[in-house]
């Protein structure tokens, strides 16, 4: 729907310069060190000694070991608990297959829409309850009183941009222990975390290894959206039940992956390894810093104009409150009057209404120009009809 509306305005006014703050994709070029490592690995494969056919379904040891060392120092996560994938989207939308078809599932509202959509496609819609994340709860879900088996937690969140503090995560870990539930933690934006109280991993919380699976991606942290690489951590300590039998979820996931994937290509895993080297981290962190600087400009600029926003501190997304407007109506106004593209909050769940998401996957200069346009059109933007 967004693409159609954007295409319509381009057709109506071809000379117009649109600013796209709707993109959930990286905008900076690939870090040179990663490109070199990928090219070198492909070159290596041209010699008989460097031949690589199918790789291990769980990922090459060199990458699993580097992730354990760089991403989980002192957290006790071992390489055999880390499963390399071609980005985490597929893992996070398919993980429910390990669990009973009648498992009760909780999903924050608003959040990344792929969880709900794939579960609904799998016929599990009636098993899902939405956890309200509204301005009143600072866009965070409160642990609830009744029982769920699986809880999706996407923090720092897409779209609200809000991170979850140590205490809040600890509450969820306690809930999971009390209910024998499993937390499915989407950490696609963990590289953007800046608040000292927002943990980089759920495993920083005591007891999390017995109740949480963590999904991490190189997509946004190292510019891999077009290369595809991520990883899922399923700790050895995590067990489910099949009748009276305790079942290792790590073994189940390993078995499933052995059947359903033939691994991620060798050059891409070499590129991911380069991203974890000290020079790779320096290059990719500089990119993340640029996105965060842009997020700060957007958020502070909107606040200076008198608007209310969340996010932008631990994530590249700004959650702009436009109460009481319909988010699609606001989207249309922003497009027509400012030639600015955003994402209507309604696309992330019913409680996304009254908000739009702006993305900082652009440059500070573009963000400043977007703010100038918003400031210029402010009077008409804020005169939204009540509903």
Please give the residue ranges that form the binding site for ligand PLP (CB under 6 A): 24, 87-89, 112, 154, 158, 186, 188, 217, 219, 225, 230
123: which 2 tokens? 């016929």
Smallest distance, Å, CB 157 to ligand PLP? 8
Smallest distance, Å, CB 223 to ligand PLP? 11
Q: Is 276 left (phi over 0), alpha (psi -120 to 50) or beta?
A: alpha
User: What is the number of alpha carbons within 13 Å of residue 234 lying toward its C-beta?
Assistant: 22
| Cis amide linkage into residue 324, ω under 30° from 0 | yes
Cβ distance to ligand PLP smaller for residue 229 or 252: 229
Cβ distance to ligand PLP smaller for residue 198 or 325: 198
Contact 274, 67 (CB under 8 A): no
Cβ distance to ligand PLP smaller for residue 24 or 240: 24
Cβ distance to ligand PLP smaller for residue 114 or 384: 114
3-state SS, residue 4: helix
Smallest distance, Å, CB 156 to ligand PLP? 9
Q: Which of 111, 115, 117 is CA-nearest to residue 131?
A: 111
> How far are the Cα atoms of 240, 296, 322, 329, 361 from residue 308, in angstroms, in the given order?
43, 14, 8, 18, 20
Cβ distance to ligand PLP smaller for residue 152 or 381: 152
Smallest distance, Å, CB 91 to ligand PLP? 8
**3-state SS track over 288-353:** HHHHHHHHHHHHHHHHHCCCEEEECCCCCEEEEECCCCCHHHHHHHHHHHHCEECEEHHHHCHHHC
- Report angle CA 131, 118, 98 to the nearest 5 degrees: 90
Smallest distance, Å, CB 346 to ligand PLP? 17
Smallest distance, Å, CB 21 to ligand PLP? 15
Cβ distance to ligand PLP smaller for residue 88 or 208: 88
Strand partners, 213: 184
CB closest to ligand PLP, residue no: 87
Residue indicated by tokens 């790789």: 55
Output the DSSP codes for 74-100: TTT--GGGEEEES-HHHHHHHGGGGS-
Whole-number Å distance between alpha carbons of 114 and 252? 23
Report the DSSP pairing between strands 340-341 and 239-242.
unpaired
Cβ distance to ligand PLP smaller for residue 3 or 383: 3
Smallest distance, Å, CB 3 to ligand PLP? 16
Cβ distance to ligand PLP smaller for residue 315 or 327: 315
Residues 6+ apart with CB under 8 A from 197: 165, 166, 167
Residues 6+ apart with CB under 8 A from 117: none
Cβ distance to ligand PLP smaller for residue 160 or 374: 160
Smallest distance, Å, CB 140 to ligand PLP? 15
Cβ distance to ligand PLP smaller for residue 87 or 271: 87
């Amino acid at each position: 729907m967004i693409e159609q509306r954007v295409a319509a305005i381009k057709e109506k006014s071809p000379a117009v310069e649109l600013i796209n703050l709707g993109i959930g994709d990286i905008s900076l070029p690939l870090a040179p060190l990663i490109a070199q490592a990928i090219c070198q690995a492909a070159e290596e494969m041209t010699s008989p000694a460097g031949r690589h056919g199918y790789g291990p379904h769980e990922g090459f040891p060199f990458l699993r070991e580097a992730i354990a060392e760089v991403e989980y120092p002192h957290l006790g996560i071992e390489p055999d608990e880390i499963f390399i994938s071609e980005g985490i989207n597929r893992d996070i939308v398919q993980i429910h297959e390990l669990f009973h078809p009648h498992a009760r599932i909780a999903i924050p509202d608003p959040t990344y829409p792929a969880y709900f959509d794939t579960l609904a496609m799998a016929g599990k819609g009636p098993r899902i309850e939405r956890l309200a994340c509204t301005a009143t709860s600072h866009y965070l879900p409160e642990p609830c009183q009744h029982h769920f088996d699986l809880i999706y937690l996407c923090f720092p969140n897409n779209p609200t941009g809000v991170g979850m503090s140590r205490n809040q995560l600890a509450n969820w870990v306690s809930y999971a222990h009390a209910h024998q539930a499993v937390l499915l933690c989407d950490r696609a934006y963990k590289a953007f975390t800046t608040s000292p109280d927002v943990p980089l991993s759920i495993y920083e919380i005591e007891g999390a290894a017995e109740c949480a699976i963590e999904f991490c991606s190189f997509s946004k942290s190292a510019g891999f959206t077009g290369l595809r690489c991520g990883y899922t951590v399923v700790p050895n300590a995590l067990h489910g039940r099949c009748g009276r039998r305790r079942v290792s979820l790590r073994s189940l996931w390993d078995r499933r992956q052995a059947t359903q994937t033939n691994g991620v290509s060798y050059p891409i895993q070499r590129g991911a390894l380069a991203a974890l080297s000290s020079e790779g981290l320096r290059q990719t962190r500089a990119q993340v810093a640029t996105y965060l600087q842009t997020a700060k400009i957007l958020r502070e600029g909107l606040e200076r104009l008198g608007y209310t926003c969340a996010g932008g501190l631990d994530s590249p997304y700004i959650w702009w409150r436009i109460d009481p407007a319909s988010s699609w109506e606001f989207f249309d106004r922003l497009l027509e009057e400012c030639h600015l593209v955003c994402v209507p909050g309604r696309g992330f769940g019913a409680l996304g209404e009254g908000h739009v998401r702006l993305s900082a996957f652009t440059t500070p200069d573009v963000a400043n120009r977007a703010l100038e346009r918003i400031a210029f059109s402010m009077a008409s933007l804020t005169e939204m009809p009540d509903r």
